[in-house]
Each structure stands twice: as C-alpha cells, then as structure tokens.
Amino acid sequence: MTHLNKLQPGQKGKVVGFTDDNKISRRLLELGVVPGRDIEHLRNAPLNDPMEIQIGPCCLSLRHAEASMVTIELDD
C-alpha cells in the first residue's frame, strides 16, 4: 500500500481509505474517492502540483498534500 501522491503518471490502483478523518477527506468522499474504487494518476501540472486523477468517469485535480491522505493499493 502507498499514498496517492506517490503514484507516477499512468499508474493505477484501488482506494483503500484515508489516513485522517477531516474536512478534506470527507470532501474527497463526496467527490467519489471512496474505498474500493479504481483510481488512475493521469498527469501532473507543469510545476508538478496539482495532479490530475481519474476515478470512475470523473477527472479531478488534487494538490499533492490532499492526495497524501488517500491510501491506495497498486495494481499489478
């Protein structure tokens, strides 16, 4: 297991959970970042922050600080 902010563009995994229960993690849940969902790191912005992810049919941009709260299991 690792954190979402550690993924390289093109890597995929499954959401396992969150490292903390706070406003940001609850907002990510509302946006569809829920345990069991497939997630893919699409690309980084030119200065490396934020990162763009795809979860289901939706694309989201997250700061690396926010992505560090999401625990994922990498696909083989």
Summarised one tens digit per residue, pLDDT across range 24-38 is: 999 999 999 999 999
DSSP 5: G
Domains and CATH numbers, the chain: 2-74 (2.30.30.90)
Q: Are strands 51-55 and 58-62 parallel, antiparallel or unpaired?
A: antiparallel
Looking at residue 15, what is its pLDDT? 96
Percent of the chain topping pLDDT 90: 92
Alpha-carbon distance 55 to 61, whole Å? 11
Looking at residue 54, what is its pLDDT? 97
Percent of the chain topping pLDDT 70: 100
Beta bridge partners of 3: 71
Cβ neighbors of 15 (< 8 A, separation 6 or more) are 33, 34, 35, 36, 37, 39, 55, 70, 71, 72
9-30 mean pLDDT:
94
